[in-house]
C-alpha cells in the first residue's frame, strides 16, 4: 500500500485530469469508476493505492524482448515501403503495417487487457501512429504465443514469419524457417 500526500496527490490529480481530457476509450466500466474515485481522492489531498503484480502469463507478455522500435521500422519498410503502398492482399491488409482485421482484433484484446486505448479497425489501421501501436502489440502477442508453442524464445525472423504468413501456417511447418514461402524468406533478410 502506498500513501500519497501533498504535491504527489496534486501531480496524480493533474495526470488523471489530462487522461480524462483525452477521453481514453475503454469499454471497462469498472476501470472508469475506479479512475473517477482515484481522481476525486487525489483532489482531496490524500490517496492510498495498492499496486498489484501481474499474473505470470501477463508478466511474460509484458517482457517481450525482440519487438523493438527498430524492428517495427523494418517491418513498415517491408510491408508497405514505409507507407507508400497502404493496400495489400487484395484489400484484406491495410496501412503501413498491412494489418488484417483478425490481427487488429488480437491487438485490441491485448491493449484492453493492458489498459491501453483502443480503436476500431477502420479508424485506426490507416492512421500511422495507431497502426504502429497496434502492430507493436500484435508482434508482442505473436512473440508470447511463439515462445509458448516453441518452448524457447523466438527470433525476429520467427516473429515476422508468424506476422507475415500467419501463426497457424507457420505452426504447420513446425516453425522451420527453411519451410516458409520464399517471399517471406526474402523479406526476413531485410530485417537485419
Q: Which tens digits make up the pLDDT trace of 63-108?
A: 547 999 999 999 999 998 877 778 877 778 788 899 999 999 999 9
> Same domain, yes or no, for 88 and 160?
yes
> Same domain, yes or no, for 97 and 29?
no
Please give the distance of CA 83 from its chain centroid, rounded to a whole number: 19
**CA 174, CA 97: separation in Å to the nearest integer?**
25
> Same domain, yes or no, for 45 and 62?
no
pLDDT of residue 83: 73
> Same domain, yes or no, for 73 and 34?
no
Q: Phi and psi dihedrals of 19, rounded to 5?
A: -65, -45
Q: What is the pLDDT of residues 21-73, one digit of tens each?
A: 445 455 556 565 655 665 555 555 544 443 344 444 544 444 547 999 999 99
The label of the residue with cell 514461402 reads 181
> Same domain, yes or no, for 185 and 127?
yes
> Same domain, yes or no, for 39 and 121?
no
> Same domain, yes or no, for 144 and 108?
yes
> Same domain, yes or no, for 42 and 136?
no
Prediction pTM value? 0.66
**CA 144, CA 131: separation in Å to the nearest integer?**
20
**Which three cell numbers mark 89?**
492482399
> Same domain, yes or no, for 145 and 67?
yes
> Same domain, yes or no, for 139 and 83?
yes
> Same domain, yes or no, for 81 and 41?
no
Contact 64, 57 (CB under 8 A): no
> Same domain, yes or no, for 37 and 61?
no
CATH of the domain at 157: 1.10.530.10
Question: What are the distances in angstroms from CA 75 to CA 79, 80, 92, 150?
Answer: 6, 8, 18, 22
The boundaries of the domain holding residue 17 are: 2-49
How many structural domains does the chain have?
A: 2
The 3 state secondary structure assigned to the chain is: CEEEECHHHHHHHHHHHHHHHCCCCCCCHHHHHHHHHHHHHHHHCEEEECCCCCCHHHHHHHCCCCCCHHHHHHHHHHHHCCCCCCEEHHHCEECCCCECHHHHHHHHHHHHHCCCCCCCHHHHCCCHHHHHHHHHHHHHHHHHHHHHHHCCCCCHHHHHHHHHHCHHHHHHCCCCHHHCCHHHHHHHHCCC
Q: What is the pLDDT of residues 126-166, one digit of tens each?
A: 999 999 999 999 999 999 999 999 999 999 999 999 999 99
Amino acid at each position: 500500500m502506498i500513501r500519497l500526500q501533498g504535491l504527489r496527490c496534486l501531480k496524480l490529480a493533474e495526470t488523471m485530469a489530462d487522461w480524462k481530457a483525452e477521453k481514453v476509450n475503454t469499454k471497462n466500466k469498472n476501470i472508469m469508476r475506479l479512475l473517477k474515485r482515484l481522481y476525486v481522492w487525489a483532489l482531496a489531498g490524500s490517496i492510498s493505492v495498492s499496486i498489484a503484480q501481474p499474473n505470470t502469463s501477463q508478466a511474460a507478455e509484458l517482457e517481450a524482448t525482440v519487438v523493438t522500435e527498430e524492428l517495427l521500422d523494418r517491418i513498415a519498410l517491408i510491408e508497405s515501403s514505409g507507407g507508400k503502398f497502404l493496400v495489400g492482399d487484395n484489400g484484406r491488409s491495410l496501412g503501413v503495417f498491412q494489418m488484417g482485421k483478425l490481427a487488429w482484433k488480437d491487438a485490441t484484446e491485448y491493449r484492453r487487457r493492458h489498459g491501453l486505448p483502443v480503436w476500431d479497425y477502420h479508424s485506426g489501421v490507416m492512421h500511422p501512429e495507431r497502426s504502429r501501436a497496434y502492430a507493436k502489440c500484435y508482434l508482442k502477442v505473436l512473440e508470447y504465443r511463439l515462445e509458448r508453442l516453441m518452448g524457447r524464445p523466438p527470433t525476429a525472423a520467427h516473429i515476422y514469419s508468424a506476422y507475415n504468413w500467419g501463426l497457424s501456417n507457420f505452426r504447420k511447418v513446425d516453425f522451420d524457417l527453411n519451410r516458409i514461402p520464399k517471399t517471406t524468406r526474402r523479406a526476413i533478410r531485410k530485417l537485419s
